[in-house]
Amino acid sequence: MIAADRERKARFDQQRPSARQRGYDSKWDKERAAYLKAHPRCVRCPSPATVVDHVTPHKGDRRLFWSRSNWQPLCTPCHSSGKQREERR
């Protein structure tokens, strides 16, 4: 990562609300665990799912955040690489 990218990411992280402020609280932790138990495999590869991803980024929309039809199980590598790259477009 070049210096300019690191600086841009640092500025973004400073302005971004915490995960808890964005809705990822104990209720989310319980729902996430139940969803992953029911959907144990990544939809992009055969690996075990470790992340409940929002198919359409919710951007603070609580209805979209909690809509299970907007959730998909992903493994960490698929979420961290491909999915995040798609959302930056």
**Both structure tokens of 50:** 């470790």
**pTM for the full predicted model:** 0.71
The separation between CA 22 and the C-alpha centre of its own chain, rounded to angstroms, equals 11
Give the integer Cα–Cα distance in Å for 84 and 36.
20
pLDDT band of 88, cuts 50, 70, 90: low
Mean pLDDT throughout 14-33? 75
Residue-wise pLDDT for 49-75, tens only, equals: 999 999 999 988 999 999 999 999 999
Q: By three-state DSSP, how is residue 27 classified?
A: helix
Mean pLDDT throughout 18-32? 77
Give the integer Cα–Cα distance in Å for 51 and 62.
19
pLDDT at 3: 72
pLDDT band of 5, cuts 50, 70, 90: low
